[in-house]
């Protein structure tokens, strides 16, 4: 990891998307995200040190004072120190309202920090001299709940008289994760000796708001983790299926004939095409979301910024969750294509399978993203985010129509979009009537509906581009024919699930709603 | 494992279902299977030694001569030696037609064996003095393909002058499996020194037929592996969800109120109820199949035996695959319910997840069971097996109706059964017209359809029993209410998938059918 870290720093990966005046390369977020995908496919853990450091430094860049920028942000962007996100506590996993770490003001303007954090990725290591933990804590007297949380920079070591000395931050335990083995996940204890200093970032009681401003980016990066992990496994399965000979065609099983590569079996191609549809659909989704982040932040036109911000709002939970959930399924298929060899740790697919599982858990579980999408994002501002999404999809359907994509595919996507619009209006109406629990009962199914429909729209887009390329003549005909097959697969195999799932959400099917603890 | 093995032998688990005259307890297969589920939930690997030994001894019991029964079978049933199934070779994983291990007759009636086997579970160890490998090999001059395979007992050690000496069987390598870590999976090399003796079991060239007669039982046991592995993980998730406090009800998020156990969140109950529906549906399926095996073998009435044999034929690939595929999903949910803690090897759910993955690969992959079900079993004898299945389901639907189960549930199952019958007739017709590839294109989807429908029928049965119990009064009302919720869940959440999947099979959707190697 030491060798990789030096290369990542040299590459400028940490500040790649940041402005030049903080040492960045000013790459669009889209470009940074896509470029990082290659590194993620090679080593998720190594990328995570860079990503966490970038995120921590970015928080200070956005909200910190000049002292913190000079002393901490600059060193993180330069790769001299690394950073972490220290939110989770043992008694408050997903429930940040219950964070208990305390911060007591000191006379010099810093705070005494005391508390326990858990699952802190990269929370200690010796790749660099120091680790800055961006820590949520509660200033003495702060209100309960999320409104009382402040953000602190709590380094592992602090300068005293020009020398780095310990800052009373201790490793209380290591989580033995099943994947991401190159990145320690630690329990950290702050202030066991009463001497842990934290520097307030921004204003008191604004900690969660600050964190959330960074979280959209982080969630898109988690989405790319998922895509990259599914992608590398897909390509490994493809290479295996092309070379592994086993069995004979179903219609001619003469044992005197040689065996054929397993890619010639239809069911193996099913498993490969499903992986391709998930991986390339997910890549398109995450890239599209990253692009919206760029436009929302930098477009000169206010209307373009507004539309991009709406799209980003709806797409973020999907871009985070789709690669985690469907990507895991793709990783399972990669193991399955490898047969008995896939069940062995001498082959890589099982390692990617283990890596992938984290993505449905960290940075908000899939269930929490379902609640966030349905309960907040898609119904915000009277449904404006959904309207923008529908308009964008409509434009793509029109383009696909004109490009000569099968009219039945276009119609299927159009009807699915209409179904999504109806369903959202229906559930939003239930929410407005005051029955939030009924509205949210199938929030995870709702997330599934949105994910499948959005990815279908993006596959239709890819099909339109393929048709356009084939019509004008291309040297990459194979590439575009593959795109058309994958689009066809998604639209006829996955998209129809939406009919039943939307009905489930709408009907309020109440089996687990009414299920009681004692009945299990 | 040494301590466990002694206990398993004491328990009589190896010959539990065998006749008294070979030292067995004559338990019905149903009882043996259900009893073993408890052991499997505790330690799959330990059970596998017993199951493999029982299967190997059973082959000799059914087809071997008195010498083999006395010298090998008896020692295996007594737990003095263990047994294995040595089918797979590196160049012939699922394709047994390509098995190349040779057998050359010797003058004393034994054979010289030479060849390589791989993935031999329990192929060597020091729990017992000897291991008998039930080995598929080709006698010199035998025809190619599966018709030239003979079955041999090839022990690790053989008696010479009353002493056990090496039989030229060597461990060529160990597979580092991702689960089932207590059971070595080995590459074995036979006859490196030209001195490996094998004893022919039964007649020449009948090896695969003999093996297949054992395989139905083995597949049902694999199904129970899957059920047990999903079950223990489900109960662990349930216990965790009842004690882990996190967050507050969606409608009242006052941070001054205490956090609630996560089972109070609807989405957590969704994950738990899905696990319950899979686990208890799978348990019912495997138990029902095991019961048919008993009736098919032992009923005094020929018609009862015939019907049970038909049911067993159709149910075996489902009983093997459903727990592997849906059970894996249940294991994933158990990890997810545990959140970040689930991603740690300090908790057991991830270990069960790894164990479960094997079940979709060994004893025939899921894809192969799809081919077997659609291509052979369900269309055999002019569709007689399916007709029996439909009649059985019909009887259950009638009973559910009379018991007062919601008429809509009964109708949903009835319609799904009709859909399955139509689809099978349609696909069978395509096959009869000669286009086997078109018939089989969606064979895995077809297996999915059958699995979902069969489990829905079995859930309706459980709902009927629950209604009957509640009507007559019961001290276990909670238990039966839970059954009703799970039945409702399956019928409204999983069963509707069948509409789309059946349409997919029927339409012959050809995305992966026409996809070419170069297009990926």
Q: Of B358, B440, B485, which is closest to A250 when you measure between CB atoms?
A: B440
Question: How many C-beta atoms surround the C-beta of residue A121 within 10 A?
Answer: 21
Pairwise CA distance, residues A226 & A220, whole Å = 10
Query: What is the per-residue pLDDT for A216?
Result: 82
Q: Give chain B positions within 8 Å (CB) of A265.
A: 367
Chain B contacts in chain A segment 213-272 (CB below 8 A): 238, 242, 245-251, 253-256, 259, 261, 263-272
Cα–Cα distance for residue pair A430/A432, rounded to 1 Å: 5
- Compute how many other C-beta atoms are within 10 angstroms of the C-beta atom of residue B250: 18
Distance CA A341, CA A350 (A): 10
> Residue range B50-68: average pLDDT?
97
Helical axes B302-337 vs B266-298, angle rounded to 10° = 160
**Could you tell me if A370 lies within 8 Å of chain B, comparing CB atoms?**
yes
Please count the residue pairs, one from chain A and one from chain B, whose beta carbons lie less than 8 angstroms apart: 269
Per-residue pLDDT of B271-312, as tens digits, reads 999 999 999 999 999 999 999 999 999 999 999 999 999 999
Q: Residue A343 is nearest to which of B177, B266, B482, comparing CB atoms?
A: B177
Question: Does A511 sit within 8 Å of B489, measured CB to CB?
Answer: yes
pLDDT in tens, A290-342: 999 999 999 999 999 999 999 999 999 999 999 999 999 999 999 999 999 99
Distance of CA A269 to the CA centre of its chain: 28
What does the pLDDT read at residue B168? 98
Question: Which DSSP category does A360 fall into?
Answer: G
Work out the mean pLDDT of chain B and round it to a whole number: 96
Q: Do B246 and A92 count as a contact with CB atoms less than 8 A apart? A: yes
Which of B144, B245, B266 has its CB closest to that of A513? B266
Which chain B positions have a beta carbon within 8 Å of A332's beta carbon? Answer: 328, 357
A517 CB neighbours in chain B (<8 A) are: 242, 261, 263-264
Query: Within chain A, what is the greatest distance between any pair of CA atoms?
Result: 87
Is residue B76 over pLDDT 90? Answer: yes
Q: Cα–Cα distance between B288 and B311 in angstroms, integer?
A: 9
pLDDT given at position B255: 87
Question: What does the DSSP assignment read for B38-96?
Answer: HHHHH-HHHHHHHHHHHHHHHHHHHH--HHHIIIIIHHHHTTSSEEEEE--BTTBSS-G
Q: Which of B255, B358, B517 sits opposite A145 (nearest CB)?
A: B255
Set of chain B residues whose Cβ sits within 8 Å of the Cβ of A342? 361
Please tell me the total number of residues recorded for chain B in this structure: 520
Beta bridge partners of A164: A159
Q: What are the tens digits of pLDDT across the range B25-38?
A: 999 999 999 999 99
Helix (H, G, I), strand (E, B) or coil at B108: coil
Q: What is d(CA B1, CA B404) in angstroms, rounded to the nearest whole number?
A: 50
Residue A507 buriedness (CB in 10 A; 0-12 / 13-18 / 19+): exposed
Buried/exposed code over A333-342 (b: 16+ C-beta within 10 A; e: otherwise): bbbbbbbbbb
Task: Give me the mean pLDDT over the B442-450 stretch.
Answer: 98
Which residue of chain A has the CA closest to B237?
A520
Q: What is the mean pLDDT of residues B336-341?
A: 96
Query: Cβ distance A86 to A207 under 8 Å?
Result: no
pLDDT of amino acid A178: 96
Residue-level pLDDT at B97:
87
Residue among B247, B266, B268 with most chain A CBs within 10 A, to mutate: B266
And the tokens for A195? Answer: 């001497």
Give this prediction's pTM: 0.97
**8 Å CB contact of B345 and A178:** yes
Give bridge partners of residue A165 from the DSSP assignment: A158
- Provide the terminal-to-terminal Cα distance of chain B, rounded to the nearest Å: 46
Residue A345 and residue B178: Cβ atoms within 8 Å? yes
| Confidence class for position B215, pLDDT limits 50, 70, 90 | confident
The answer to whether the CB atoms of B336 and A366 lie below 8 A apart is yes
Tell me the chain A residues in contact with residue B261 when contact means C-beta distances shorter than 8 Å.
517
Q: Which two tokens stand for residue B199?
A: 């004893």
Which positions ≥6 away from A299 have C-beta within 8 Å? Answer: A305, A308
Only one residue has tokens 């390692």, namely A351
Q: Quick check: B324 and B353 in contact, CB under 8 A?
A: no
Residue holding tokens 């489900």? Answer: B234
The question of whether B363 is a catalytic residue gets the answer: yes
Q: Which residues have CB under 8 Å from B461's CB, separation 6+?
A: B284, B396, B399, B400
B90 touches chain A (CB under 8 A): no
Q: How many helices (H) and strands (E) does chain B have?
A: 18, 10
Q: Which residues of chain A have pLDDT under 50?
A: none
Check if A350 contacts B (Cβ < 8 Å).
yes
A481 contacts B519? CB cut-off 8 A: yes
Q: For residue A141, with 0-12 CB atoms within 10 Å meaning exposed, 13-18 middle and 19 or more buried, which class applies?
A: exposed
Is A434 part of the contact surface with chain B (CB cutoff 8 Å)?
no
Kindly state the percentage of chain B with pLDDT values over 70. 100
Q: How many CB atoms lie within 10 A of CB B501?
A: 23
DSSP per residue, A432-448? HTT-HHHHHTTHHHHHH
Does residue B93 register a pLDDT over 80?
no
CA-to-CA dists, residue A290 to A31, A209, A359, angstroms: 9, 21, 18
Strand partners, B92: B89
Helix, coil or strand: residue B133:
strand
Q: Is A519 in Cβ contact with B485 (below 8 Å)?
A: yes
Q: B267 and A444: CB-CB below 8 Å?
A: yes
Rounded Cα–Cα distance for residues B204 and B264 (Å): 63
Cα torsion B273, B279, B285, B289 to 10°: value is: -170
Alpha helix positions (H), B244-301: 266-298
Closest to B220 in 3D by CA, of B342, B51, B349, B103:
B51
Look at residue A252 in the predicted model and tell me its pLDDT.
Answer: 81
- DSSP character for B137? E
Vertex A20 angle, CA A316 and A156, to 5°: 70
Task: Determine the length of chain A.
Answer: 520
Residue matched to tokens 């294109």: B441
Chain A CB within 8 Å of residue B276 CB: yes
Interface of B with A in 481-500 (CB under 8 A): 481-482, 485-486, 488-489, 492-493, 496-497, 499-500
A53-75 burial, b at 16+ Cβ within 10 Å, e below that, comes to bbbbbbbbbebbeeebeebbbbb
Q: For strands A197-200 and A149-155, give the pairing.
A: antiparallel
User: Which of A145, A180, A254, A340 is the best residue to mutate to test the B interface, defined by the most B CB atoms within 10 Å of its own CB?
Assistant: A340
- ipTM score assigned to the predicted complex: 0.96
C-alpha closest to that of B450 among B326, B357, B353, B291: B326
Q: What is the pLDDT of residues B111-147, one digit of tens each?
A: 999 999 999 999 999 999 999 999 999 999 999 999 9
The residues of A annotated with a catalytic role in the active site are: 363
pLDDT above 90 covers a percentage of chain B that reads: 95
A348 to chain B, minimum CA–CA distance in Å? Answer: 11
Q: Give contacts of A266 with chain B, Cβ < 8 Å.
A: 437, 440-441, 512-513
Q: Report the pLDDT value the prediction gives residue A212, as an integer from 0 to 100.
A: 86
State whether residue A228 is helix, strand or coil.
helix
A256: nearest CB among B144, B370, B371: B144
Strand, coil or helix: B501: helix
Among B residues 1-30, those touching chain A with beta carbons less than 8 Å apart:
none
State whether residue B322 sits within 8 Å of chain A by CB: no
| Cβ–Cβ under 8 Å, residues B391 and A372 | no
Asked if B441 reaches chain A (Cβ–Cβ under 8 Å), the answer is yes
Q: Which two tokens stand for residue A133?
A: 């933990």
Alpha carbons B113 and B103: distance in angstroms, whole number: 5
Interchain CB distance below 8 Å, A361 and B343: yes
pLDDT score at A459: 98
pLDDT of residue B318: 98
Query: How many Cβ atoms sit within 10 Å of the Cβ of residue B206?
Result: 16
Query: Cβ contacts of residue B320 below 8 Å, gap of 6+?
Result: B219, B220, B222, B223, B363, B364, B369
Helical packing angle, A44-63 and A2-11, nearest 10°: 50
Using CB atoms, pick whichever of B265, B485, B519 lies closest to residue A514: B485
Cβ-nearest to B255 among A144, A179, A503: A144
Is the CB of residue A164 less than 8 Å away from at least one CB of chain B?
no
Residues B500, A504: C-beta atoms closer than 8 Å: no
**Which of the following is catalytic: B363, B391, B437, B477?**
B363
| Structural contact between residues A493 and A411, judged by C-beta atoms closer than 8 angstroms | no
pLDDT at B335: 98
Task: Give φ, ψ of B79 to 5 degrees.
Answer: 80, 10
Taking the C-alpha atoms of residue B482 and residue B486, their distance in angstroms, rounded to an integer, is: 6
Q: With both helix axes pointing from N to C terminus, report the angle between B302-337 and B207-243 in degrees, rounded to the nearest 10.
A: 40
Whole-angstrom distance, CA of residue B500 vs CA of residue B480: 31
Residue A513 token pair: 């709603």
């Amino acid at each position: 990891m030491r060798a990789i870290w030096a290369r990542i720093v040299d590459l400028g990966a940490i500040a790649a998307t940041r402005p030049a005046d903080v040492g960045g390369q000013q790459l669009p977020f889209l470009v940074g995200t896509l470029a990082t995908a290659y590194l993620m496919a090679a080593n998720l853990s190594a990328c995570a040190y860079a990503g966490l450091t970038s995120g921590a430094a970015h928080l200070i860049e956005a909200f910190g004072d000049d002292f913190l920028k000079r002393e901490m942000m600059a060193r993180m962007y330069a790769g001299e120190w690394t950073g972490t996100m220290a939110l989770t506590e043992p008694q408050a996993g997903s429930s940040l309202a219950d964070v208990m770490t305390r911060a007591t003001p000191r006379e010099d303007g810093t705070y005494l920090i005391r508390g326990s954090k858990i699952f802190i990725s990269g929370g200690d290591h010796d790749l660099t001299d120091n680790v800055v933990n961006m820590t949520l804590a509660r200033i003495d007297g702060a209100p309960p709940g999320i409104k009382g949380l402040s953000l602190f920079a709590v380094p592992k070591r602090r300068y005293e008289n020009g020398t780095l000395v310990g800052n009373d931050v201790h490793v209380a335990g290591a989580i033995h994760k099943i994947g991401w083995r190159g990145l320690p996940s630690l329990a950290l204890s702050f202030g066991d000796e009463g001497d842990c200093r934290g520097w307030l970032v921004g204003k008191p009681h604004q900690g969660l708001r600050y964190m959330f401003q960074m979280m959209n980016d982080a969630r898109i990066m988690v989405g790319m983790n998922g895509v990259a992990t599914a992608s590398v496994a897909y390509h490994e399965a493809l290479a295996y299926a092309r070379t592994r000979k086993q069995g004979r065609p179903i219609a001619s099983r003469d044992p005197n004939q040689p065996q054929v590569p397993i890619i010639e079996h239809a069911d193996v191609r099913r498993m490969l095409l499903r992986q391709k549809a998930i991986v390339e659909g997910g890549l398109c989704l995450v890239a599209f979301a990253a692009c919206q982040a760029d436009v929302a932040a930098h477009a000169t036109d206010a209307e373009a910024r507004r539309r991009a911000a709406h799209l980003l709002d709806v797409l973020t939970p999907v871009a985070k969750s789709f690669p985690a959930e469907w990507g895991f399924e793709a990783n399972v298929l990669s193991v399955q294509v490898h047969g008995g060899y896939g069940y062995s740790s001498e082959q890589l697919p099982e390692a990617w399978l283990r890596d992938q599982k984290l993505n449905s858990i960290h940075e908000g579980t899939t269930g929490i993203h379902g609640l966030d999408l349905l309960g907040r994002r898609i119904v915000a501002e009277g449904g404006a985010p959904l309207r923008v999404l529908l308009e964008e999809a409509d434009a793509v359907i029109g383009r696909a129509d004109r490009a000569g994509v099968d009219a039945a595919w276009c119609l299927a996507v159009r009807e699915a979009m209409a179904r999504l619009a109806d369903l959202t209006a229906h559930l939003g109406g239930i929410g407005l009537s005051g029955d939030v629990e009924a509205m949210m009962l199938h929030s995870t199914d709702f997330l599934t509906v949105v994910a499948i429909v959005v990815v279908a729209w993006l596959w239709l887009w890819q099909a339109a581009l393929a048709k356009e390329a084939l019509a004008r003549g291309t040297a990459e005909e194979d590439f575009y024919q593959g795109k058309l097959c994958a689009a066809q697969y998604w639209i006829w195999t996955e998209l129809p699930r939406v009919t039943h799932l939307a009905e489930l959400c709408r009907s309020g099917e109440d089996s687990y709603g009414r299920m009681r603890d004692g009945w299990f």
